[in-house]
Structure 1
Amino acid sequence: MQTFDLSGKTAIITGGASGIGKAIATKLAQHGAHAIILDVNEENAKELSEAIAKDGGKSSYGVCDITNADHVAETFTQLLGDSSLDILINNAGIAHIGNLLQTTGEDLDKVYQVNVKGAFHCAQEAVKRMETTGGGSIINVSSIAAHVGIADRLAYSMSKGAIHALSLSIARDFLDKNIRCNTVSPARVHTPFVDGFIAKNYAGQEEEIFDKLSKSQPIGRMGKPEEVGALVLYLCADEASFITGSDFPIDGGFVTLNN
């Protein structure tokens, strides 16, 4: 029997077409889940879904604006029909740079709409299904920014702090429905987003800045998306059935060793 076997289970992964979400979707499909990729980028979502299928996995995709509750409900119904949902990965999110005085109300609202309300909308739809079909697992992707002060990340840090409160509330309120909810909190993970961010903000200094960001983790490098995917796989599987309401830093020692 395969360890962390998800055969017969259906998983929705938001922001699943690239970066960490892509790695999570791929890993869950490799272990038997039907990985449903939700993203705003239809081309990338379709490409990943086809790649998973080509490798023998089961996958489908949908384009969804998670900030819109009605669109989330319609998309879940379209993709799932009357089928059960076993796993939800709230991974979609956006970043913002700025401290308290550099962040406008509009900036805060934009981040909040995606990072907090988006996760809230998807969790609502997931729980409606899970509570009538025997339970499930929800993983909310947070960040070390919710645990430690990161310079110039006010809106982003606030949003990820809210994700922790959301996760604890779900875990507490639906214990009797066999719905588990946990968070994972990555430090810097090397994704195309990171490369694009460095190129945009530090033109001509890409190598220097990449090295600096890598070494900000005590372990001396950035994480890999596949490493986050492996942690999420475990938390979704029956082997983690005793775990709920917990947060799992995956940070190369950033939170506990950076002193």
Structure 2
Amino acid sequence: MLLTVNELSVSFGGVHALDLSHFELNDKELRVIIGPNGAGKSTFLDILCGKTKPDSGQVLYNDIPVLGKTEVEIANLGIGRKFQKPSVFPSLTVFDNMLLALKMKKSIFASLFFKPTEEIDVRIRQVAVKVGLDKELKKIAGELSHGQKQWLEIAIVVLQDPKLMLIDEPAAGMSDEETEKTGELLLELSKHHGIIVIEHDMKFVEQIAKDLVTVLVRGKLLVEGSFSQVRNDQRVIDSYLGRANVQLENF
């Protein structure tokens, strides 16, 4: 088992943000987590990457306890995080952004004057091809489209060679074409990485949810199942879609 979570709980100001009794993820499994705003989805990823400290619980990654470790220590274990909003260096080229991902233990200044070896150059170009940015390597990152910035973020995570990728709302703000391409990219990446994706776009979820879908509501696990099972579960319809004037086909 790549990831095992037990009795994970955290509160903010007396309000339970997450109260997750159990969660498991297999190696090379792509798991989509859905739920309304405030369900605890991003909080869960924040805990897994060390950004937020829980009040109690257990998180095992490859049977190694994660809680109590720093964000850097967790990243070095092999857990990579892509946040919802792209945080690339807009004044640097796509290539240099990707180079920094490989040279993350050095300062930005030192990395910019570091001459990449042929092996590093090949690695960056391979990942650029995978995410569809091979023709944009010399382009300034700030000039990329929103979708391309998201792909660059994903490339940066891939270059850190994680076994587990945490991806927060990758389709947000994308065109239909970009969304479909992102889905294809994540499905391809899931052949080599375990992936947890948080998403609200149900068409996108349907595209990528080949394994289980997990539904969180008010910090708790409501249900897990295939996309079809979750889509037709009355508890999900009531809790996530609302009761009034909601058509199931919109889900």
Query: What's the TM-score once normalised by structure 1's chain length?
Result: 0.34
Which structure features the higher share of strand residues? 2
Of Structure 1 and Structure 2, which has the larger fraction of its residues in helix? 1
When Rg is computed on C-alpha atoms for both structures, the one with the higher figure is: 2
TM-score (norm 2): 0.35
